[in-house]
Structure 1
Amino acid sequence: MVDNIKGMEAKNNFKLFLPAVSAESNNQIQLISVDLQGETTSVAVFGAENGKVVSKKETAYSTTQFSSVSDLINKFISEHSLQNISKISIAVPGPVINGKSAPERLPWKLDAEEIKSKTQISKVYLINDLEASAYGLGNSCENGMVTIYDSGNSSNGNVAVLAPGAGLGEAGLFWDGECLRPFATEGGHCEFSPRTNDEVEFYQFLNKIYGIVSWESVLSKSGLFNIYRFLRDAKQQRQPEFLTEAIENGTFMEAVINGALEKKDRICTMTVDTFLIFLAREANSLVLKLKATGGLYLSGEIPLMMQKFINKEKFYKNFIISDKMEGILKDIPIYLVTDTKTIINGAAVYAAFYHE
């Protein structure tokens, strides 16, 4: 196991399948990219130049202040007096089917045709946010990722992306022999499966709350709190006053992770340690299902906040546990994505160079 986190090589091994990257019609154009989230949505205007996308202006908005994503985009266009926008690309936290999406954490439904009509921009693309993030990995610089583990025996192959945040995002990149082709999954909504007696008790605790217990109920902001309240309510761990205040103030996630870093209270350490065990196990499952010999990329807000813990042996040792596949798992390189703009950048890459 690597003792110290080290910078990933600049080339980052990403050669994405971008069939329209050489199209002259996609050179020297402006496009709008949107990272659509339940609380705060980021909108940026990009220039597409010589096979690269470059962010020129970006603004963050309170999502719920708008009645539609079209109104939000039109506000951005008006504020920055933008003209000659060729395309719009919207990264959505949920499944996209036939240019439509109805994400659970958003106040509105989305339809690419309706957005075209309301924005008067003829090319509008909706893309799952983790699929967009996968495209964004290819646009990240050498400082956008750090190596958690590298056996030195890695090879080309499929890639897995696991991103716990407001929800649990999971995506893959298929290696076709020459390029990587990103695709979305909804694996975060698969059912959680307990392994130990304590985990069975945890499952039963969540089953009374949710009925069906998905991995998103374990590996997300709300999942972190679910682990905590199980330890507090079922395992009789004391709740310290600073966490009581944090729960009331809506800052629980930051407080419990910082509490573990500073070793302020046992329940903080137990919560983070349990989360990391589950994170390693779901990472294991995703890698095996995708046969992701090209690597595992941990992304999202929570892994970034837990960076100092993820580098410890507890994560890696739980990641390689398998009845028959430990020989494959021990050679899977693991990276932490530190670039917080992969979604909005990736949505721009997808619109600029995947489509004519």
Structure 2
Amino acid sequence: METKISFPLYSPGKCCDADINHKILVADLRNINSSISLYSCIDETILKSAESTFVTLGFSSLAEMVKTFLEKNPTEIQILSIAVPGPVINGKCVTPHLPWTVDTQEISTQFGIARVCLINDLEAIAYSLADLDSSKLQILHTSTNKVKGNVAILAPGNGLGEAGLFWDGKFLRPFATEGGHTEFSPRNELEIQFYQFLTKIYGIVTWENVLSKEGMYNIYRFLRDVGRHHEDAWLAERIQHEDFLTVIGEVGREKKSRLVNLTLEMYAEFLAREANNLVLKLKATGALIITGEIPETVFDDFSKDKFYKDFTISDRMEHLLKDIPIYLVHNDSGISDGAAYYGAFTEV
């Protein structure tokens, strides 16, 4: 039996009779493949009963995607919760990561669902921490100083997601950020060259240009084209025809390419630095949580001791950073689970 690791999230609706025994439809929207899932909320527990994956660009709107799902899974829905890869403002999300605008008022009117929730995808991941079993959590660093406090979440994947949980003295309250779009700054001569390389591509260089999947490829091609590290013909062939992250992960584990090894080392150092930035800005003494497609694929290739050492480098805040627990969370359904939890339990 798995041990549950609970983060005390603020959930005012969890003990409310109005929010139990409901059907919750959850949309996890992404730029390539999106998913629609059906959950039941029974006795304060969220259970998934159906799920379908859709090619996002194959639909003219979210409404069309939802209708397609309901045609195959007819049921009465009390709550619709939508997770989006972008900022949520006044019940709407406009983001380059989706081909259409998402508007809760329009969706509510179209489907006759009174409770339609819209939540940033990283904020949804924060809500999924409310009920997490130990099989999905790996401890990277434990703290002897059990200080309760804010929690930071860093999730590199197609983009760079960053979120936080504010400790109010009794509960953790999740909130979204757009911290991945803050500007990247170099620290040494090699990184200045890397910054100049990226400036020619993007103009303004953000941390997302460095730590997303595209960012990892930017590091790879910088080391190849500017650093002049040799790229084997078989590696170039695989990268041209296969998923870049999958190839890097496999080759990195096999230690077959110095270019790949250097790419992973440079990426890990940047990841540790941005984790440091996020923790300090949020004063996240409660924990740092790392999740997302990239860490889940390649984190085992990193030196965890070096990652921790790089994470704690600071001008005057080493004493704060060294005592923060660090966790790696593996949860493919974290966005959907968290969005379901948010829809069910965050309002009375």
Q: Which residue of 2 aligns with 1:159?
A: 151
Q: Do the aligned residues in 2 keep the contact of 1:132 with 1:346 (CA within 8 Å)?
A: yes
**Mapping of residues 83-98 of structure 1, within 5 Å:** 84-98=76-90
Are 1:296 and 2:309 matched, yes or no?
no
Q: How many residues align?
A: 347
Are 1:44 and 2:43 matched, yes or no?
no
Q: Which moved more, 1:123-132 or 1:137-146?
A: 137-146
Q: Do the aligned residues in 2 keep the contact of 1:154 with 1:293 (CA within 8 Å)?
A: no
Please state how far the C-alpha of 1:291 moved relative to its aligned partner: 0.6
Are 1:53 and 2:46 matched, yes or no?
yes
Deviation digits for residues 301-356 of structure 1, max 9, x if unmatched? 00011231345211111000011010011100000001111110000000000024
Q: Which residue of 2 aligns with 1:329?
A: 321
Looking at structure 2, the residues matched to 37 and 179 of structure 1 have their Cα atoms a distance apart, in angstroms, of: 30
Please state how far the C-alpha of 1:252 moved relative to its aligned partner: 1.2
Q: Which residue of 2 aligns with 1:74?
A: 67
Calculate the TM-score normalised by the size of structure 2: 0.97
Looking at structure 2, the residues matched to 70 and 323 of structure 1 have their Cα atoms a distance apart, in angstroms, of: 50
**Mapping of residues 108-119 of structure 1, within 5 Å:** 108-119=100-111
Q: Do the aligned residues in 2 keep the contact of 1:139 with 1:346 (CA within 8 Å)?
A: no
Please state how far the C-alpha of 1:50 moved relative to its aligned partner: 1.7
Q: Do the aligned residues in 2 keep the contact of 1:152 with 1:331 (CA within 8 Å)?
A: yes
2:180 pairs, out of 188, 204, 227, with 188
Looking at structure 2, the residues matched to 26 and 249 of structure 1 have their Cα atoms a distance apart, in angstroms, of: 48
Code of the residue aligned with 1:251 in structure 2: it is: D
Q: Which residue of 2 aligns with 1:317?
A: 309
Q: Which moved more, 1:155-164 or 1:251-260?
A: 251-260
Deviation digits for residues 156-204 of structure 1, max 9, x if unmatched? 1100000000000000000001100000000000000100110011000
Are 1:308 and 2:305 matched, yes or no?
no
Q: Percent identity among equivalent residues? A: 48
Q: Which residue of 2 aligns with 1:6?
A: none
Looking at structure 1, the residues matched to 6 and 325 of structure 2 have their Cα atoms a distance apart, in angstroms, of: 12
1:232 pairs, out of 201, 220, 224, with 224
Please state how far the C-alpha of 1:285 moved relative to its aligned partner: 0.5
Q: Do the aligned residues in 2 keep the contact of 1:243 with 1:252 (CA within 8 Å)?
A: no
Looking at structure 1, the residues matched to 137 and 303 of structure 2 have their Cα atoms a distance apart, in angstroms, of: 13
Looking at structure 1, the residues matched to 43 and 235 of structure 2 have their Cα atoms a distance apart, in angstroms, of: 50
Q: Which residue of 1 aligns with 2:25?
A: 32
Looking at structure 1, the residues matched to 38 and 6 of structure 2 have their Cα atoms a distance apart, in angstroms, of: 27
Q: Which residue of 2 aligns with 1:287?
A: 279
Are 1:197 and 2:197 matched, yes or no?
no
Code of the residue aligned with 1:102 in structure 2: it is: V
Q: Which residue of 1 aligns with 2:262?
A: 270
Looking at structure 2, the residues matched to 339 and 130 of structure 1 have their Cα atoms a distance apart, in angstroms, of: 13
SS at match of 2:131: coil
Please state how far the C-alpha of 1:268 moved relative to its aligned partner: 0.4
Please state how far the C-alpha of 1:241 moved relative to its aligned partner: 2.2
Q: Which moved more, 1:42-51 or 1:244-253?
A: 244-253
Calculate the TM-score normalised by the size of structure 1: 0.95
Looking at structure 2, the residues matched to 311 and 41 of structure 1 have their Cα atoms a distance apart, in angstroms, of: 33
Q: Do the aligned residues in 1 keep the contact of 2:155 with 2:290 (CA within 8 Å)?
A: yes
- Unpaired runs of 5+ residues, structure 2, are none
Code of the residue aligned with 1:255 in structure 2: it is: V
- Unpaired runs of 5+ residues, structure 1, are 1-8
Looking at structure 1, the residues matched to 92 and 59 of structure 2 have their Cα atoms a distance apart, in angstroms, of: 19
